[in-house]
Amino acid sequence: MTETPTQASPDTPAKSTYRQMEESITLAPIEEQIADWGGGHETQELLTLNMGPHHPATHGVLRLLVTLQGEVVRDIKPIIGYVHTGIEKTAEDKAYWKVIPVLERMDYLSYYFNAMAYCTAVEDLAQVEVPKRAQYLRVIHLELNRIMSHLVWLGTSALDLGAISMFWYCFREREQILDLFEMSSGQRMHTRYFQVGGVIEDIPAGFAAKLKAFVDVMPSRADQYNALLHGNEIVLQRLRGTCQLDAESLLQLGVTGPLLRAAGNPWDLRKAAPYSSYEDFDFKIPVGTVGDNYDRFAVRLAEIYESVKIISQALDGLPDGPHITTDRKIALPPRHELATSMEALIHHFKLVTEGMRVPPGEVYSAIEAPRGELGCFVRSDGSSKPARVHMRDPSFVNLQALSSMAEGSYIADLIATLAMLDPVLGGIDR
């Protein structure tokens, strides 16, 4: 990839190394392939289009170098890194519980999941037991977040496809969910609700009633979305049969989540390796048949119904108990104890100033996020700050499947596929 700098001629200035590197992304293999396809005797040229980072349909700052032959996509090169925030590096600099707000902002539509993956990894390392009530509360918030993420996906995807009014319907429900989040934690997004050992606060009075009202109304709302989109001829034409990819190729590419389930493989970590009391709940995994865009769309829509079922079961069976572990070396003691107990005061002091100490070791722990397998690798060296935090983000790995999916289809199908892929650039770029 390294080239010697071109000599500056009198007319053209010397190219900067950056320019050379940019121009060194060669399309020679594609051109050979085009020649194989018999494009030699036609006067069609390949057009490389830059769907730049600023584009209404790229779901964030994703840059795609699309090589087109006419309107047919021949190759896609995604270029990412435009919202790279150095989250993992920042996380090494902070105490264990201070990492949680930093990591939450990674995949900004599934913030509870980011925190959950990290908390399960640290709880594994520190061998902390999460009380049952905290597990159920976590499940409730995780499934609410899953519904919310799918709603945003649905709204923005429909916007891309042209069904603009879906956006307002989905965001109407999203506002209800965000009201619930605000009730339990005070913030709409990036709530810092999950802590190592449980959740930061028990749910307030009235939360259960509001949640019940939401759970009762959500299935009918999802029916509205179905009615609006499922029978719509344009949506069906655009999604059925386009950009299909079979489960084997998806597994080779490391794709998990609704994309894999749409192709027929019922792999879901909530059922396969249950964590946080998911085994107590009765729910199904929606699975597609063909693996085209329509299946991806239908699988996510069906997952909303399943999540509602999980939430109502968790709400009905919510056990009593503490909302965070009682291990004072991990979780802050309740404030009323600070007035009476000396140890509580010392624990509080140590936790707030230095942070919790976690025994040295490395752990990789994975959960099922709305986009696939979200893994968190934490390496601890025994001090109060993690030595390495890596999030295995599902969108980052799923994006590699885009070129296989969209090859040979039209640009409009590319847009639809990108929408159905549900990439969240915060997670991709971290």
Q: Does 125 bind other proteins (CB under 8 A)?
A: yes
Cα distances (angstroms) measured from residue 179 to each of 185, 258, 394:
10, 27, 27
Residue 159: Cβ within 10 Å count: 17
Kindly write down the DSSP assignment for every residue of 197-253, as one continuous string.
Answer: TEESSPPPTTHHHHHHHHHHHHHHHHHHHHHHHTT-HHHHHHHTTSS---HHHHHHT
Core vs surface per residue 14-27: b (16+ CB within 10 A) or e? eeeeeebeeeeeeb
Least separation, in Å, of the C-beta of 257 and other proteins?
12
Least separation, in Å, of the C-beta of 316 and other proteins?
28
Nearest to 118 by CA among 137, 104, 133: 104
Q: Does 122 bind other proteins (CB under 8 A)?
A: no
Element (H, E) at 133: helix 132-161
Residue number, 266 or 355, with CB nearest to other proteins = 266
Residue number, 134 or 152, with CB nearest to other proteins = 152
Contacts of 152 (CB under 8 A, 6+ apart): 109, 170, 171, 174
Residue number, 16 or 44, with CB nearest to other proteins = 16
Q: Does 362 bind other proteins (CB under 8 A)?
A: yes
Interface with other proteins (CB under 8 A), residue from 299, 399, 405, 414 = 399
Residue number, 299 or 425, with CB nearest to other proteins = 425
Residues 38-97 that bind other proteins (CB under 8 A): 52-56, 60-61, 80-90, 92-93
Residues 248-267 that bind other proteins (CB under 8 A): 251-255, 267
Measured over the CA atoms of residue 395, residue 401, residue 406 and residue 411, the dihedral's sign is positive
Q: What are residue 47's DSSP bridge partners?
A: 68
Q: Does 361 bind other proteins (CB under 8 A)?
A: yes
Interface with other proteins (CB under 8 A), residue from 3, 5, 8, 17 = 17
Residue number, 44 or 85, with CB nearest to other proteins = 85
Residue number, 81 or 408, with CB nearest to other proteins = 81
Q: Does 212 bind other proteins (CB under 8 A)?
A: no
Q: Does 13 bind other proteins (CB under 8 A)?
A: no
